[in-house]
């Protein structure tokens, strides 16, 4: 399989075999990082972040630097010529001369897809509005693979903002392509997954979905609990956010009757939906997940840049 020159905008842009290839290479990079410290020597990553980010932007930067490449870009569109009214198309036409691979985060859904249409170098979606976040999905998948050894036959619960949560949308769509998955969707009624997504998931007769507003109801049966924050920035008014922000708080006592090999994941940042007392529980893997995100992004960029023949 050859991913060289491709874009990654939606996790469905890659087949399951292609996703697996990225995950396997990411695990190799995790184990033997030093062997690949010159893999991207001479390559430049361009970061175009029109929205705040810690993990996505900096793990991409860390990934490129660990492979011997360099990085340029902006983390605040207000410090770029976007502030003067420059279009995405013009920004990309310029940036693809300055960098060999681009990662873009944008509040508008579809912006990275538009960018890919004007770019002569690979464009990676670093998160677009409430739509997709495919490299977070790769991060989630590599974590599941690392701890469970395979991705199938799992009962996965998603909890929190399932309406606007792009990490949830991307991971749900992707996991539904794996064998024998069933999903527990835990949210307040106001933040249920979009109907179109639910209908799309249920087109696969193997997929089972249970919706509930209770965090406790299914906890003892769950293999993976994917917590998410209620996202203040997606609400139109403060009052609605305040009403929902404390809907779910996972703490130690709630974990008493859960499976011993339960994985608690979270794309982060966390606000208050996981108590700090959970961090020391062996089931809590969200910081390991953020760490693995660097290596899977190394693997992704190496493949899109076509340098993996040296691996
Ligand atoms: N998970 C994630 O996308 O985190 P950042 O918003 O910090 O990039």
**pLDDT tens for residues 135-169?**
999 999 999 999 999 999 999 999 999 999 999 99
Q: Which atom of ligand 1 is nearest to the CA of 59?
A: 8
The CA distance from 122 to 43, in Å, is 12
Q: Would you call 198 a catalytic residue per the annotation?
A: no
Task: Write the CA distances from 236 to 109, 179, 197, integer angstroms.
Answer: 17, 38, 22
Residue nearest to atom 1 of ligand 1 (CA): 267
Instruction: Determine the Cα–Cα distance for residues 189 and 214; give it in Å rounded to an integer.
Output: 11
Q: What residues are in contact with ligand 1 under a 6 Å CB criterion?
A: 53-56, 127, 136, 267-269
Is 133 assigned a catalytic role?
yes
**Catalytic residue check, 260:** no
Peptide bond just before 269 cis, omega within 30 deg: yes
| Chain mean position to CA 57 | 12
228 against 242, higher pLDDT: 228
Give the residue, out of 136, 138, 285, with the most ligand 1 atoms within 8 A of its beta carbon, to mutate for a pocket test: 136
Ligand 1: atom nearest CA of 126 is 3
| Catalytic one of 34, 84, 257, 260 | 84
Q: Average pLDDT, stretch 175-202?
A: 95
pLDDT digits (tens, 9 = 90+) for 234-246: 777 888 888 888 8
Q: What is the mean pLDDT of residues 290-296?
A: 98
In the chain, % of residues over pLDDT 90: 91
The total of other beta-carbon atoms located within 10 Å of residue 246's CB is 11
Model-level pTM? 0.96
| pLDDT at 1 > cutoff 90 | no
Q: What are phi and psi of 223, to 5 degrees?
A: -90, -40
| Structure tokens belonging to residue 174 | 């992707």
C-alpha–C-alpha distance, residues 275 and 164, integer Å: 22
pLDDT band at residue 198, thresholds of 50, 70 and 90? very high
């Amino acid at each position: 399989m050859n991913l060289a020159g491709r874009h990654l905008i939606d996790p469905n842009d890659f087949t399951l075999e292609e996703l697996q290839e990225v995950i396997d290479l990411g695990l190799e990079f995790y184990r033997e990082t030093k062997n690949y410290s010159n893999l991207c020597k001479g390559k430049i990553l361009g970061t175009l972040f029109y929205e705040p980010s810690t993990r996505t932007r900096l793990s991409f930067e860390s990934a490129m630097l660990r492979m011997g490449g360099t990085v340029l870009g902006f983390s605040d569109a207000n410090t770029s010529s976007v502030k003067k009214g420059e279009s995405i198309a013009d920004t990309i036409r310029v940036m693809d001369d300055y960098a060999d691979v681009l990662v873009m985060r944008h509040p508008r859904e579809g912006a990275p897809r538009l960018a890919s249409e004007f770019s002569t170098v690979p464009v990676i979606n670093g998160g677009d509005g409430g739509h997709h976040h495919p490299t977070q999905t790769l991060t989630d998948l590599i974590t599941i693979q690392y701890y469970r050894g395979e991705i199938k036959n799992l009962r996965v619960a998603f909890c929190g903002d399932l309406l606007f949560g792009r990490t949830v949308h991307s991971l749900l769509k992707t996991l539904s392509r794996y064998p024998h998955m069933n999903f527990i969707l835990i949210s307040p009624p106001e933040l249920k997954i979009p109907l179109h997504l639910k209908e799309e998931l249920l087109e696969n007769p193997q997929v089972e979905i249970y919706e509930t507003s209770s965090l406790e109801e299914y906890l003892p049966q769950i293999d993976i609990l994917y917590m998410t924050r209620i996202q203040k920035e997606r609400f139109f008014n403060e009052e609605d956010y305040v009403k929902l922000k404390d809907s779910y708080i996972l703490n130690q006592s709630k974990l008493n009757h859960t499976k011993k090999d339960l994985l608690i994941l979270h794309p982060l940042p966390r606000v208050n939906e996981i108590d700090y007392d959970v961090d020391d529980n062996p089931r809590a893997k969200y910081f390991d997940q953020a760490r693995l995100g660097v290596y899977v992004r190394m693997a992704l960029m190496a493949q899109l840049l076509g340098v993996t023949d040296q691996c």
